[in-house]
Structure 1
């Protein structure tokens, strides 16, 4: 399957069965993890990489697509356990990951909290508390839009804002693969925009989806939904059409 491996992780969250799909990239020198799940996910990650006869301590780099809790929840624990792993993030995301800025989902929740119906407040309070409890961690290397990282045949950084302003996707030209992060998700075998009601900027999220049409993508991997089955370009065009008509 090209030069990437899917790390499907099944778990229960808020009483629902869920799956997330971090990605493993590997060449002769490096083993690179893309995103790392919720807090306390290290044992689940270990099991997922073990399926490929790989161990977490052999990972050399960890690329973060954005700072949402389900993508960076275990980042600090991983870095503490394996300090040699280099954490890589987009320049706009660094203040959120390092704790210098309040995370966007917490800002959103706080701004609407007073208007919520009473029965919703305990759930949202719990959500806010979980966001505040995420450990911060220093980023070792920042990346910029269009930068090509020299590993695994080249990894192009594609700035895809909207879900959050500093969201990135990764394009692997050697296998025409796009690691989408949350720029798109797969729901009922169709592409969609991730939680459009919570998108920081839905218009920008749609512009980011359109941007994907500039890339020759044969394989598309979503953090929520895994590997897309079908014609990627056609599915992206359909998604754009659905939101613009």
Structure 2
């Protein structure tokens, strides 16, 4: 870990740094010597984290540091929470895949979260995540998937849908570094304890917000085939070397057993979207287990309220 002016961040690889904001990561990527000078921010964290992201940039590059662009792996609220505030400070282009644009121009909302997938408190809390799309039309730019991102000439952009329709990952062939977003993660994202404690455990994309499991499996297989030596994910610690490659291959080979929930809204039928946004969402499917968990939570909440009133 590196410390500067009370800002804690970590090194991912040469020219790549990360910061954990509660339970989600953001990354800064600088171009190497011989390429156009500058750096980009990858993802924009949770709401209220803009000052910490700006402080991280200034700790690395000096006062007044400014990115040449912001790149979004996808537009979920935990990856775009500070985006509007950052754009007020920096006013730079924001790059995203064409299929993410409706969620960044106010045209469409994502399909609703699925709290029935279980496995932890984060799944239940997902119903409270921001649903309204952002509108940053002035800044947003569509990524040219053949040409890549002009401000990151060495990095390849890989379309890795499943978690969202236009989800992307970034790959640096020089040292096979992946910035993965949520195509797969390196903690158990459904568990509040694991996510907040940054406990290492390679997993598929967060179940409560993944709306196309066939596409998600295909994306993980593509990334595993690339045999990355470094993976920086949206949730969880950096993984490296043989530990990463073996765990990722195991996830790809056993995706149905390890990643796909046994039941849930999107397990049997995905949500559907195009360049205009979401146009089909499967009906909500409750489960007995989900009803029991919600009932227990309601009972505990009622007990807590009663104790407060008695006191």
CA shift in 2, pair 1:54/1:192, >3 Å: farther
CA shift in 2, pair 1:203/1:224, >3 Å: same
1:176 CA displacement: 1.3
Secondary structure in structure 1 of the residue aligned to 2:88: helix
User: Once the two structures are superposed, what CA deviation does each residue of 1:123-181 show, in whole Å capped at 9, x if it has no partner?
Assistant: 677x26x433x642124421144543344551111000000111000111122111000
Secondary structure in structure 1 of the residue aligned to 2:107: coil
- Is 1:237 aligned to 2:245, yes or no? no
1:75 CA displacement: 1.4
Structure 1 unaligned residues grouped into runs of 5+: 12-17, 114-121
How many corresponding residue pairs? Answer: 222
**Greater fraction strand:** 1
The structure with more radius of gyration: 2
CA shift in 2, pair 1:170/1:41, >3 Å: same
CA distance in structure 2 between the partners assigned to 1:168 and 1:240 by the alignment: 17
Q: Is the CA contact (8 Å cut-off) linking 1:34 and 1:63 kept in structure 2?
A: yes
Alignment equivalent of 1:49, drawn from 57, 66, 88:
57
Alignment equivalent of 1:67, drawn from 63, 75, 86:
75
CA distance in structure 2 between the partners assigned to 1:31 and 1:124 by the alignment: 32
1:76 CA displacement: 1.7
**TM-score relative to the length of structure 1:** 0.79
1:57 CA displacement: 4.3
Corresponding residue for residue 37 of structure 1? 45
Corresponding residue for residue 22 of structure 1? 26
CA distance in structure 2 between the partners assigned to 1:82 and 1:197 by the alignment: 32
User: Once the two structures are superposed, what CA deviation does each residue of 1:15-34 show, in whole Å capped at 9, x if it has no partner?
Assistant: xxx3x221111125111000
1:224 CA displacement: 0.6
Secondary structure in structure 1 of the residue aligned to 2:29: strand
Question: RMSD across aligned C-alpha pairs, in angstroms?
Answer: 2.7
